[in-house]
Structures are given as C-alpha cells and as structure tokens.
Structure 1
Amino acid sequence: MTNQLAGRKVAITGGARGIGRATAEAFLAEGATVVLGDIDVNLVEQTAAELSKSSGGHATGLGLDVTDPDSFEKFIATAEQDLGGLDVLINNAGIMPTGSFLDEPLAVADRQFAINVRGVIIGSKLAGKRFVAQGSGHIVNIASVAGLIGSPGVATYCATKHAVVGLGSAIYQELEPQGVAVTTICPSFVNTELIAGLAPNWLTKQIAFVEPTDIADAIIDSVVKKYSGQRVVPTTSGLAARMLAPLPERLRNQVSHILGAHSVIGDADQTKRAAYLERAEGAEK
C-alpha cells in the first residue's frame, strides 16, 4: 500500500466483477475507501466483503441499476453517507452483446444504450453537480477502443462507446474550468467475461489484450495526476488506432481485415459466450 489516495472517497459502478472489482482493489491498496454498485446485489456485497477483508480497508457493496435515475441517485447519496463525501465516480458498468447487426433484436440494442450510454450520462450528471458544488472531483468514464474505430459484429456496442467518447470530450471542456477532472478510458480487449469466446490472432493478442489490473492502474494514475482527457489502454492499441485514423475508410477497413481484427468477433465461439450473453442481454433478448 502506497497511500497515494489516502482519504479519497470513490464510487464504482459495475463493481461486482471484472474491471470494477480490479479497480476497487487498486483504490483500496492506495488508501481510498470505496462503494461498489452493481445490478447483482448478492455478488457486489460479496465482492465488497472479500475486498475489505483482503485489503484491511473499507468497501461497501450496494445494489444499483444505472439505467434508473432514482436508483443511481440513491446509490450516490448512500455512498456519500457511508464514506462521508465523494471524490471520484467511476462509470464502469457496461455490456457487449455480439453478433450480426441485422439479426440483433431491437430490445438488445436498446439495452446496450440504456446501460452503456444512459447510465454514464446519469452518473456523470449526478456526480458532476456534486463535484462542481464542492469545487473538486473526478469523473472516470469507461469507453472502449471500439469508441474510436468501428468493428463488425459489435455495431451497436461501437455506437454506444463512440457516444461515451464524445460525451467525455464535451464534459471535460465544460467541467474542468470548475475544478472537475473528466477522464475517458478506452480499453482494448480486457481479459474478463465480456470477451469470453473471442478469437484473436497472435498479433491482436500482442498489441491489444490486457488484464483488468492494467485498466485499474490507468485509472489510479489518472486520478493521482488529476488527468483530464482520453487514455487508450494498452498504448499499443492507441498507437495502432492513430496510425489507421488518417487512412481513407475503405483502406482502413482493408488493413484491419488483413491484420485479423475483423475475425476477432466474427469467429467467436458462441458456446463459450453463451453464459455471458444470457446475463448481458437479460430478459430483453
């Protein structure tokens, strides 16, 4: 424990597993106190208890539906009461159904926008108002490299993450003059259940695959440095995106196809993705 963030009060959505859990563990290691929110109430309570025990710090798990403003307001208010204030909000909750755009049920598309975009907007508004009032605070929104480039097989997901990238760019400019930092984290392929069954080639694995702890480290670094703006993790993915960006779209798509990026989703093992898709798509499937 380095205690770089001792005394900081942090709320994390989608905190029961994956990036959310890893980020909570990293904040606790730096001396922060943490409240985790998740739609899976039992699991988030269990996660918080485990992290509190292993770190010797303070973590609380609360039920949270990020698509419901009342649920989100209750989560933020309870976090403030539990922690004695709030300094950082991590908008991490998100889902990534995969498959053909034309075959995707509209309800599944709606669910992605509700969680991936509406949830981030609600959280950013609720935290942003509080942070402006106190003259300090940090909003961290988890987007994706898919918010910078388009990929077949995840068309709606790409649309939602492009929205999060655009939102972050705009509110960074609005809120930073009022003392509020806004960071947009754009992970590539993170080794969580979200990418179960995907089929990357050797090159894609080398330049684009990371662990949840890598994302957590980038978030911690951003909060410590009060960094506002966009960060791509890993940096090799950011470099690849910047190199492709100036190319005409047709050529950019051809290069991505040659490098194997198009087959990562298309060749996914749907059997291995079944459990995740059932949970992510929910009753609206």
Structure 2
Amino acid sequence: MRVAIGDIDLDLAKATAAELGHDGQVIALPLDVTDPTSMEAFVADAEEQLGPLDVFINNAGIMPIGRFRDETPAGAARQVDINIHGVLNGARTILPRFTARHGGHLVNIASMAGKLGVPGTATYAGTKHFVVGWSESVLSELRHDGIPVDVTCVMPAVVRTELSAGAKATRGVKDVGPDDVADGIVSALKVPRFDVFVPRIGGTAAKISAVLPRRGRELLARATKADVTLLEADTSKRGAYELRAAQSPPRQVQAASDADALTAPAEARRPAEEPGA
C-alpha cells in the first residue's frame, strides 16, 4: 500500500505517515486545499514519489458550531473556501489525470448534514449539500461522456474526532469512529458505488426524511434529538478545535484545517482518518 497524505499542518501529516507506514510507502506532503497551485504541486509530488494515483480522497472540512445569526462573514467564507473550493481544487487537479489514464476513483467526504439540515451548522450543512449535489453531477457527466472514472460520496453521521467534540447523542443513530468511515470507503473502492452512509442506518434516515412533509421532518428530528445534537453541543469541549478552525483568514497558507486530502496509488485501498461529521 502506498499513500500520500496532504495537510497544511505538515508536522501532523508527517506524524500520521510515520504511524501508518514504513519504507517510504506512506508519505506526507504540504497542502493548502484552498490554493489551486498548492493542490497541483501536491498531486505532482505524490505521483513523482509514488507513481500514478488511482484513488483520490477529498477530505477537507471544518465545522464551527453556532447559530447562523451569530456567524461572521469571514467565518462563513472560510467554510466555503475549505469545504467547497478545497473539493473543487482536488477534483479539478486529479480528474484530468484519471481521464487520461482511463480509470481512477474520486472519493468526496461529505456528511449526513449534506442530506439533512442540521441546526447549529447552517453554513457547514450548506457546504456539504453542495458536495453531495456536485458529486452527483460530476458522476453523471463522466457517465455521459463514457469516461471510466468512479465517484463516491461518503456521508458519515457524527464521527468521534475533534471536529465533533461536545456533540450530543442522536437517538437511533450511533456515533462512529474514523475506522468505520475508512471501512465504508474501502468497501466502495472494492465494489464501486456512489452513496456511502456511515453508519448504514443513516441512509434509511435520509430516505425517510426525504418523503416526509416539513412538519413530519421536524417531529422526527425532535424525537431523535437530531435537532439539538449540534445546536446544544458542550462548548467547553470545543474550544481548542473552534480556535484552530478559525485562527486565520481563508486562502492563507498558515490557516489551520483538518486533514486535507489523501491520495493512493493503485495498491492503496485503506484511507486514513476522516475528521468530519
């Protein structure tokens, strides 16, 4: 297995690479997903060191929690820059390479928030709705043009990482760990499919919610406590993450974000942790 990890926090990426691999099979490279030039350099360096990639995981995302009316324009712009433009920059860089090689698999990490509006994360949910809809459109374009490249959209519920610190439990939908998300991705790499819900019951919840009238959705959210999972999160447990997620303006190389992107050559079939919910 050969994997390249890209992150704006290079020290963290190096530590993760050292934990996961040896003999140069897992490498760490600098990456600012909001910068197209940085993304191009990352992919070029990864392929130079590891060979042609056939799996690319768009894993960028930050999730500040709070009511929309309290959100600053800069805070919203930062989420859009990382959560949306980061994904676009990754896909725009890797898809021409996949197309030229007549194969590859693009994996976009979205969220259950990309299917259901989640109180307390309005802008975040909006960015994840974008990732889901955009991924569907890109896959349709590839199929229409006869390009044999697969696209998968991963929609985890609450994942036990720093990003979801302090979140309340949702009835009927257990929280999951990064390994559960990784298992879902691996299964989609082995047998390609677009939708990957983690846990799987999340897909059932999304389907039920989609056919309910507005009042029914609200009652379901209240019954499962999904309406307060993030809105009433324990803020005392989120201080470090919120500070790191907001510590610099968008499009700055010094900005701190969660793990940005993972790429894997042909042998690689096991991604690292997904930091999002």
Paired position in structure 1 for 2:14: 45
Alignment of 1:30-41 (within 5 A): 32-41=1-10
Q: Is the 8 A contact 2:4 2:29 kept in 1?
A: yes
Equivalent-residue separation in structure 2 for 1:257 and 1:52 (angstroms): 44
Q: Which amino acid aligns with 1:179?
A: P
Q: Is the 8 A contact 2:185 2:196 kept in 1?
A: no
Instruction: Show CA shifts across 1:121-168 (max 9, x none).
Output: 111111111100110000000000000010110000000000000111
Q: Which amino acid aligns with 2:94?
A: A
Instruction: Show CA shifts across 1:206-247 (max 9, x none).
Output: 52411110110111111122x141211111111111112111
- 4+ aligned runs moved over 6 Å, structure 1: none
Gaps of 5+ in 1: 1-31
Q: What TM-score comes out, normalization by structure 1 length?
A: 0.84
The structure 2 residue matched to 1:210, chosen from 158, 163, 176, is: 176
Paired position in structure 1 for 2:54: 87
Equivalent-residue separation in structure 1 for 2:8 and 2:24 (angstroms): 23
Paired position in structure 2 for 1:178: 147
SS class of match (1:199): coil
Q: Is the 8 A contact 1:172 1:228 kept in 2?
A: no
Residue 284 of structure 1: how far off its partner (Å): 3.5
Matched, 1:106 2:81: no
Equivalent-residue separation in structure 2 for 1:153 and 1:284 (angstroms): 21
Q: Is the 8 A contact 1:187 1:234 kept in 2?
A: yes
Bigger fraction of residues in helix: 1
Q: Is the 8 A contact 1:97 1:154 kept in 2?
A: yes
Alignment of 1:147-166 (within 5 A): 147-166=114-133
Q: Which has the higher contact order (CA 8 A, sep 6+)?
A: 2
Gaps of 5+ in 2: 251-277
Instruction: Show CA shifts across 1:173-206 (max 9, x none).
Output: 12242110000011111111111011225x2xx5
Equivalent-residue separation in structure 2 for 1:253 and 1:241 (angstroms): 13
Structural RMSD (CA): 1.4
Paired position in structure 2 for 1:17: none
Residue 105 of structure 1: how far off its partner (Å): 0.9
Equivalent-residue separation in structure 1 for 2:10 and 2:244 (angstroms): 14
SS class of match (1:189): coil
SS class of match (2:211): coil
Paired position in structure 2 for 1:223: 189
Q: What TM-score comes out, normalization by structure 2 length?
A: 0.86
Residue 57 of structure 1: how far off its partner (Å): 6.8
Q: Is the 8 A contact 1:132 1:175 kept in 2?
A: no
Is the alpha carbon distance of 1:263 and 1:131 closer, same or farther for their aligned partners in structure 2, counting shifts above 3 Å? Answer: same
Q: Which amino acid aligns with 1:263?
A: V
Paired position in structure 2 for 1:139: 106
